[in-house]
Structure 1
Amino acid sequence: MRLSIWPGAGQPYDEVLEVARHAAETGWDGVYVADHFMPNAGAGRDPDHPTLECGSLVAALGAAVPRVRIGTLVYGNTYRHPAVLANMAATVDHITGGRFTLGVGAGWQVNEHEQYGIELPPVKQRLDRFTEALRVLHGLLRQPRTTIDGEYYRLTDAVCEPKPVQDPLPILVGGGGEHRMLRIVAEYADVWNTWGRPDLIAHKSAVLNEHCAAVGRDPKAIARTAQAITVVRGPLPDGMPLPVIGGSPEQLAETVAEYREIGLDELIVPDGMLGKGVDRLEAMDVVLGIVRG
Structure 2
Amino acid sequence: MDIGLHYFTFTHPEWETTLADRLTETAQIADEGGVNLLTVMDHWFQMLQSGGPYEPMLEGYTSLGYLAGVTKNVRLSLLVTGVTYRHPGLLAKTVSTLDVLSRGRAMLGIGAAWYDREHAGLGVPFPPIAERFERLEETLRICRQMWSDNDGAFDGKHYQLAETINLPQPPRGTVPVMIGGGGERKTLRLVARYGQACNLFGGPGEEAFETVRHKLRVLRTHCETLGTDYDAIEKTMIYQGDVLGDVDAFLTDMDQYKALGISLVGLMPTPYENPVPWATGLVEDVVPRLNQV
Q: Report the counterpart of residue 261 of structure 2 in structure 1.
A: 263
Is 1:232–1:283's contact at 8 Å kept on the other side of the alignment?
A: no
Q: Give 1:33's aligned amino acid.
A: V
Q: Report the counterpart of residue 27 of structure 1 in structure 2.
A: 34
Two-structure CA RMSD over aligned residues (Å)? 2.0
Q: Distance in 1 between matches of 2:40 and 2:60?
A: 6
Q: Distance in 1 between matches of 2:132 and 2:59?
A: 22
- Picking from 211, 221, 229, the partner of 1:200 is 211
**How many aligned positions are there?**
279
Is 2:9–2:271's contact at 8 Å kept on the other side of the alignment?
A: no
Alpha-carbon offset, residue 50 of structure 1: 1.2
Q: Report the counterpart of residue 8 of structure 2 in structure 1.
A: 8
SS in structure 1 at match of 2:124: coil
Unaligned runs of 5+ in 2: 12-18, 204-208
Q: Distance in 2 between matches of 1:273 and 1:253?
A: 22
Q: Report the counterpart of residue 292 of structure 1 in structure 2.
A: 291
- Picking from 213, 218, 232, the partner of 1:221 is 232
Unaligned runs of 5+ in 1: 234-246
Q: Distance in 2 between matches of 1:18 and 1:138?
A: 34
Q: Report the counterpart of residue 188 of structure 2 in structure 1.
A: 182
SS in structure 1 at match of 2:8: coil
- Picking from 146, 164, 174, the partner of 2:170 is 164
Q: Give 2:251's aligned amino acid.
A: A
TM-score by length of 2: 0.89
Runs of 4+, deviation exceeding 3 Å: 272-276
Q: Distance in 2 between matches of 1:274 and 1:252?
A: 22
Is 1:40–1:111's contact at 8 Å kept on the other side of the alignment?
A: no
SS in structure 2 at match of 1:28: coil
- Picking from 129, 140, 144, the partner of 1:123 is 129
Q: Distance in 2 between matches of 1:289 and 1:3?
A: 10
Q: Distance in 1 between matches of 2:44 and 2:163?
A: 32
Give 1:42-191 correspondences, 5 Å limit.
43=49, 45-191=51-197
Alpha-carbon offset, residue 270 of structure 1: 1.5
Q: Distance in 2 between matches of 1:14 and 1:231?
A: 25
Alpha-carbon offset, residue 90 of structure 1: 0.7
Q: Distance in 2 between matches of 1:248 and 1:173?
A: 30
Alpha-carbon offset, residue 177 of structure 1: 0.3
Is 2:29–2:280's contact at 8 Å kept on the other side of the alignment?
A: no
Q: Distance in 2 between matches of 1:291 and 1:275?
A: 24
